[in-house]
Amino acid sequence: MADEQQTTTGTSTGGHATKHRALTFGQRMRAYLLAGILITAPISITLYLAWIFIGFVDSKVTPLLPAKYNPETYLPFALPGLGLIMLVLGLTLIGALTAGFLGRIWVRISERVLSGMPVIRNVYGAVKQILETVLAQQSNAFREAVLVEYPRRGLWAIAFITGRTEGEVQSVTEEECINIFLPTTPNPTSGFLLFVPKKDLVHLSMSVEEAIKMVISGGIVTPPDNRPDTEKAHTYTAAAAYEEVDIVREKDGSPILVAKGTRPGEVQDKVRGEIDQEN
């Protein structure tokens, strides 16, 4: 009789029985539906976007191939991805040709011609510099995610380091600054360029891909904290302290006094140095 009662109520822990509430038919169907959406939606959306991109490239590149060399002329059906393959082969061929002596001469002549055009030279120079910075293998652009206080003290936003501040901007700034790109949600291709003192940045251990996913999802997709336990035990800043300082400044016009070495980036560097010494 006792065995039957234990089976009905479930296993006991510390003298208290744990009861498992069975799901109703409607709740079970709802759970199955949500699971099916979570599994199929990402795959379907990815395949759909890939199909649109391949179709767009095919519609622009495939017509450039003469009809007698186009396999679709002799087949009763179209070949998806033919234009994309042609584009990849064409770009590879152009890269191989420009790597030689004659190719470099042709590039120099083309750049001289473009640099003589008033409007085209500005567009060409900006696009070339951006692509060289982003695609360079040894570049640190968009290679690290950081936290920055924006749009006011006490509020934090994820940004990406694009390089060190140089030129006139750094010359007129007393502190060492870093160029960061602050993306918008859910479209990370638009955003703001900020020049932030290096000491005010908190470097994140999450990858750029994980940070971009977090920005696009609006915080729904949050990457796990993979830092060592010794580093997890430390914090680098507090929003409440900044709020109190802002209130004093706005009401009384009092100067803001911050202890030396207490800025977020300085605290993080100090903690990491202590952890390295312990290890």
pLDDT tens sequence across 59-75: 999 888 888 888 888 88
Cα dist from 60 to 68, 76, 82, 94, 103, whole Å? 18, 21, 11, 18, 26
pLDDT: which is higher, 6 or 160: 160
Same domain? 192 vs 171: yes
Q: Per the domain annotation, does 204 fall within a domain? A: yes
Q: Is residue 20 part of a domain?
A: no
The answer as to whether 50 is a domain residue is yes
Q: 269 and 222 in one domain?
A: yes
Q: What is the pLDDT of residue 277?
A: 81
* 206-211: average pLDDT: 89
Are residues 208 and 122 located together in one domain of the fold? no
Taken in order 166, 169, 174, 179, the sign of the CA dihedral is negative
Mean pLDDT of 111-128: 83
How far apart are alpha carbons 138 and 163 in whole angstroms? Answer: 12
User: Looking at the domain assignment, is residue 90 inside a domain?
Assistant: no
Q: Which of 247, 47, 38 is nearest to 152 (CA)?
A: 247
Q: In this predicted model, what pLDDT tens digit does every residue of 235-249 receive, in sequence order?
A: 877 766 555 555 555
Backbone torsion region of residue 223, taken as left when φ is above 0, otherwise alpha when ψ lies between -120 and 50, otherwise beta: beta
Residue type, 267: V
Count of beta carbons in the 10 Å neighbourhood of residue 83: 21
pLDDT score for 1: 43
One domain for residues 153 and 185: yes
User: Residue range 170-183: average pLDDT?
Assistant: 92
Cα–Cα distance, 64 to 58 (Å, whole number):
10
Distance CA 169, CA 93 (A): 40
Residues 121, 53 within the same domain:
no
Model confidence at 192, in pLDDT bands (50, 70, 90)? very high
The three-state secondary structure class of 149 is: strand
Please check whether residues 126 and 208 belong to one and the same domain. Answer: no
Question: Which pTM value belongs to this model?
Answer: 0.57
Rounded-to-integer distance, Cα 180 and Cα 265, Å: 15
Residue 4 has pLDDT above 50, yes or no: no
| pLDDT surpassing 70 at residue 13 | no
Rounded mean pLDDT, 48-57: 92
pLDDT of residue 12: 46
| Boundaries of domain holding 129 | 101-135
Q: How many domains does the chain have?
A: 3
Same domain, yes or no, for 265 and 177?
yes
